[in-house]
Amino acid sequence: MRVDKRVEALFAHAAALHQSGKLKNTVYCIGKFVFCLNQDHTILLKFVVRGEVFEHPVSFEASDYDSQEIEEQDGVVKFVQRDSSGFDRTKMCSTPNFTPQQIVDVFGGFGKPVGGKVTLPSAVCGLLEDNLSHVEFRGVDGCLSIVQRNIYTGTLIEVTRGKLGDIGLGLGDGSLEDFGPIALRTDDFFALYSFAEGVDFWFGGSDVVFFKSTDSSVAMSGIIGQCVYDELGGELVQTKEGG
């Protein structure tokens, strides 16, 4: 199977994010969907690609991605490069622990977005610091509060609705349901904006946060599971497996 340039660009971007540490992830492809699950199993992204691209499901570690020509059989994924000199290069890697169908079931099991919608443009990233490891979201007095903290030194950055109004950051209009802290890695949060200029988030209606790209040219949506700083790991998958 040979994927087209659009899908190849998505794979290459996922691999680059993984290698840079921005979003370490595994990739799952089935039908017209590409899923990326981060290493802590706390963020699951779904992309919709045009056409029935993947006649046979494929899954791999993003860091292993090597070629547009991909085959998977008996738990081994192969990336094939065909050289004009007449030689073929095949990279063979183990597949992840989950199958694409299992990831489809996990994603679908959470249902549709619920809660209050807040739109956060990429500008919000400029107010945060990449050397603080986590971003924390809270609903306070009907508006969204974004906090970064150094859990070792006590340093704290808070982004809230300012005296000048919304200032284009979409931090809520006072009608958002109050909710407790939801944290994710700063690098993972920033990674969302490498795919889209703006992201809609649904807060307060569930134990998970739903999100979706505001850019009609990027068919990206996803789910953020609960995590508490150094105790990250497995929340989305464990929840759907009854763990």
pLDDT digits (tens, 9 = 90+) for 91-149: 999 999 899 999 999 999 999 999 888 899 998 999 999 888 889 998 888 888 899 98
Contact (CB, 8 A) for 69 and 11: no
| 43/123 same-domain check | no
Q: What does pTM read for this prediction? A: 0.85
pLDDT digits (tens, 9 = 90+) for 215-225: 888 899 999 98
The CATH code of the domain that includes 129 is 3.10.150.10
Domain count, the chain: 2
| 77/131 same-domain check | no
Q: Tokens standing for 154?
A: 């006590």
pLDDT digits (tens, 9 = 90+) for 35-70: 999 988 889 999 999 877 888 899 999 999 988 899
| 124/236 same-domain check | yes
Distance CA 167, CA 129 (A): 19
The residue out of 85, 109, 133 marking a domain boundary is 109
pLDDT digits (tens, 9 = 90+) for 161-214: 655 444 445 555 567 888 888 888 889 999 999 999 999 999 988 888 999 999
| 62/179 same-domain check | no
Q: Tokens standing for 96?
A: 């992840």
Contact (CB, 8 A) for 53 and 43: no
Contact (CB, 8 A) for 234 and 103: no
Q: Which domain holds residue 191?
A: 115-240
CA atoms lying within 13 Å on the CB side of residue 97: 6
Query: What pLDDT is stored for residue 33 in this prediction?
Result: 95
